[in-house]
Structure 1
Amino acid sequence: MSEPVSELGLPSGEAFAVGRDAAGLEALLARLAPLAPGLVALEATSGFETVVAASLPVAVVNPAQIRAFARALGQRAKTDPIDAAVIARFAAATRPEARPLPDAATQRLADLVARRRQIIAMMVAERQRQTRFAERRLQKSIARLLEALQRELSEVEAEIDRDVRGSPAWREAEDLLASVAGIGPTIARTLIAEMPELGSLDRRQIAALAGLAPWTRQSGQWRGRSHIGGGRASVRAALHMGAVTASRHNPTLKAFRDRLIAAGKPKMVALVAVARKLIVLANALIRDNKSYAPA
């Protein structure tokens, strides 16, 4: 059953529901394909992205942006038809670019890389507890869990290594990225898995995708500080760690950071600038298929 959506000024809008199963997805594609839509906007958490993207131009949008957009419209009610209308209006207003989603192999690698992060986070949490508990039995419990987590970590890292080194394209990309002091294997593999757009976007687009493009709040004569945000948080976190290393061991990027600090920039701002340089550099290396050559 469908119903018109008029709350947000979309007179031709229509809402319908399908099941979250194979039959539902088949019905969804059958309904959309004859319309030849120019863009299909989906929230990143919808669960339909991979299937729909197989045959339609899909843009996966950030749920946080959709919520902010709904608030800006004054839309507080929340139903599936209203949510769909908000996403449609957001897509019409912002024109997000349709990009192909990762293939199965890239998605598997991204899942492995994410799992590695999760295991490390659990290990860090257990080690912090280890410093707080004096009871011998609790110490033994933590030690057993850490040992099990270390085994899991080793297995996941071995799978990541097999996947990356077993693929000629990924192996070449890793070698190109790791030619930069500041990008080690972990960061290189995070970029390969979670930034498959590397080499296909310009410097501004790739920085924005990583959440490292500065934006400024401004109203009239008032101008606020520039901030970074959005984008792919896991990639941004990896590049932040890479920037710390590059600021010490990469002569070119160390000199760049030192110039910013000498000009009065806060150290954290300078570090973010180094991280932005790293992603732009990584993008250029993959695009040009060339190893890093310091200027």
Structure 2
Amino acid sequence: MRPLALPITLLAIWGLLAHAGLDAAGVAELATWCQANGVELVVMEASGGYERLPFLLLWELGVACGIVNARSVRRFAEAMGFLEKTDSIDAAVIAHYGEVKRLQPTQPPSAAQQRLKALVARLYQVTGDLTVQKQRRSAAADAETIASLDEVIVMFKRQSRRLEGEIASLIDDDPLWACLDQAFRSLKGVASRTVARLMAELPEIGILSNKAIAKLAGLAPIANDSGKRSGRRPVRGGRAGPRCILFLIARGVARYDPHFGAFHQRLQAAGKEKMVIRIALARKLLVVLNAKARDARKEFANAT
């Protein structure tokens, strides 16, 4: 496939990778082409993890990269009149989207951040598998089947303990993470797994404003007004992982923390729907954690 001749200093990656090959050698070939042609920024869609290898390798090879939301690019393409979808059209549209948006490079995560995210993801996979095996164990009647399931359950429990230990050690070994961990867990009801998931999947916590972090987690109400009409303001988008864990623990925090408990009761007394209360509690918890993280980062910076 012939590389796109773009009149801008951006490049949509997938067209060239389809030609070069989605491996280290192909990415190196792409990096060489970018450097030879004065490409300042490689733009790629988030594609469920498939973009991770070229993203990290290109940064290592000195080529800046930016990641964009695939749904936003598709809607942009349709707004520009591109209802068709081919590799060449996608590549051109992604590059044009990056130019119009004036996209800034997406900085790569540190090695420690990548490892933390991988460990947390694996822990939740093991936890999910363990739940499934326990459900099968409770429904089993055959002795041989039960014995087999017991072996698998023991294995998953062993892996879960090992992963939890590695995650705890990784957090303790990083002074800033240890400081954040202490700040988060000062709120009763916030456990170590919650802290690990937030730090792995929402590393911007304590850096962004309350409104920005809420939108990033998909907990910010989206305006839906037109003229004199004031529509319902739903939440949508954002990162599902942090949002799910906040949903789970916010109700628990409301049981222990009188401030959250009173907030919950006020919403109930006002006749708010259950889902509205759930979202409001999760958003309030995120705002409190963001404030704690902001203070912890300031204290850490002043101490160092």
> Is this a same-fold pair by TM over 0.5?
yes
What is the number of residues matched between the two proteins? Answer: 286
Name the CA shift for 1:270/1:141 in 2 (closer, same or farther; >3 Å): same
SS class of match (2:20): coil
Whole-angstrom CA distance in 1 between matches of 2:161 and 2:271:
43
> Is 83-92 or 166-175 further displaced after alignment?
83-92
Any conservation in 2 of the 1:247–1:257 contact (CA below 8 Å)? Answer: yes
CA RMSD of aligned residues (A): 2.9
5+ residue gaps in structure 1?
none
How far the C-alpha of 1:214 sits from its partner, in A, is 1.7
Q: Structure 1 residue 174 and structure 2 residue 176: aligned? A: no
TM-score normalised according to structure 2 size: 0.81
Q: How big is the shift at 1:160?
A: 0.7
Structure 1 counterpart of 2:25:
23
Aligned to 2:221: 214
Give the whole-Å Cα distance in 2 for the aligned partners of 1:96 and 1:260: 40
Equivalent pair of 1:243/1:272 in contact (CA under 8 Å): no
User: How far apart, CA to CA, are the structure 2 residues paired with 1:57 and 1:258?
Assistant: 49
For the 8 Å contact 2:28–2:58, the answer to whether it is kept is no
Residue 133 of structure 1, CA deviation: 3.0
Return the offset for 1:233. Answer: 0.9
Classify the secondary structure of the residue corresponding to 1:225: coil
2:272 corresponds to = 265
Write the letter of the residue equivalent to 1:147: V
Pair 133,74 (structure 1): closer, same or farther in 2 beyond 3 Å: farther
Displacement of 1:235: 0.8
How far apart, in 1, do the equivalents of 2:31 and 2:243 lie? 34
In the TM superposition, 1:64-143 aligns within 5 A as 64-70=71-77, 75-94=82-101, 98-143=105-150
**CA spacing shift, 1:261–1:58, aligned 2, 3 Å:** farther
TM, length-normalised to structure 1: 0.84
Preserved contact between residue 123 and residue 149 of structure 1 (Cα < 8 Å): yes
Tell me, what secondary structure is at the counterpart of 1:41?
A: strand
Letter aligned with residue 43 of structure 1: E
CA contact (8 A) 2:264 2:281 kept: yes
Cα distance change, pair 134–80 in 1 and its aligned pair in 2 (3 A): same
Structure 1 position 35 matched with structure 2 position 41: no
Whole-Å Cα distance in 1 between the matches of residues 33 and 288 of structure 2? Answer: 43
Unaligned runs of 5+ in 2: 299-304
Cα displacement (A) at 1:114: 0.5
Q: Secondary structure at the match of 1:20?
A: coil
Residues 1:246 and 1:29: Cα distance change in structure 2 (over 3 Å) = same
| Separation in structure 2 between the aligned mates of residue 138 and residue 94 of structure 1, nearest angstrom | 57
- Alpha-carbon distance, 1:187 to partner: 0.9
Cα distance, 1:4–1:124 mapped onto 2, change above 3 Å? same
- Match in the other structure for 2:151: 144
- Mapped pair 1:288 → 2:290: no
Equivalent in the alignment of 1:158:
165
| 8 A contact 2:42–2:65 mirrored in 1 | yes
Change (3 A) 1:124 1:160: same
Match of 1:49 in 2: 55
State the identity as a percent.
36
Q: 1:168 to 1:269 in 2, by over 3 A?
A: same
| CA gap 1:3/1:31 in 2 versus in 1, 3 angstroms | closer
Matches of 1:56 and 1:201, distance apart in 2:
26
- Partners of 2:71 and 2:146 lie apart in 1 by 40
Asked whether the equivalents of residues 211 and 232 of structure 1 are also in contact (C-alpha less than 8 Å), the reply is yes
Provide closer, same or farther for how the CA distance between residues 2 and 171 of structure 1 changes in structure 2, counting only shifts above 3 A. same
State how far apart, in whole Å, the 2-side matches of 1:247 and 1:121 are: 25
Report how far residue 96 of structure 1 moved.
5.4
Q: Per-residue CA shift, 1:97-133, capped at 9, x if unaligned? A: 5442311111100000010000111111122222333
Shift of 1:82: 2.0
